[in-house]
Structure 1
Amino acid sequence: MLDCRQVLSELSNYIDDGMTLEEKCAFEEHLARCRRCWVVCDTTRKTIEIVSENMPPAMPLAVSERLHARLRLLYASRGS
């Protein structure tokens, strides 16, 4: 049986789905009995979800290449 300290130290593995089935079951059994750990786990998961949803979209490759080419020209002209 896991205690709160163990649950908190393994929270990242749980959220990242990096546990064996046995470890996951023990973890979830603790969460079912411990309101504090459940709140921490739920809040952490929701925070990650919110942050992930608000990430800016990746810059298209063509735009990135043009930007880097322009910056190289700019810095090359300043160096001479």
Structure 2
Amino acid sequence: MTRSDRPEATAAFTCPASTHDGRCMLEIVVARSTTKSAAAINTAVVVHGAISEKDFTDVRTSHPGRHITLDDNVLVLWPSRGA
């Protein structure tokens, strides 16, 4: 797993997904002040907050092969198979 080196990504949340393409954009989105909550359950993640289409696209690019949805202000990185 590659952790972001951007200063706004804090150690308060660590992405449970095992593979990333470059920086973990999910960690960066979670660290923003517009994010209300984030919960990791095994390899799934649920994020509540103001999430833009760009954030959504960036997270999808950062996690190739994972199913990711955005509904209103809830972004979900669904569990990987076998998790």
Larger % of strand: which? 2
| Fold match (TM-score > 0.5) | no
Structure possessing the higher radius of gyration over alpha carbons: 1
More helix by share: 1
TM-score normalized by the length of structure 1: 0.28
Q: TM-score, normalised by structure 2?
A: 0.28
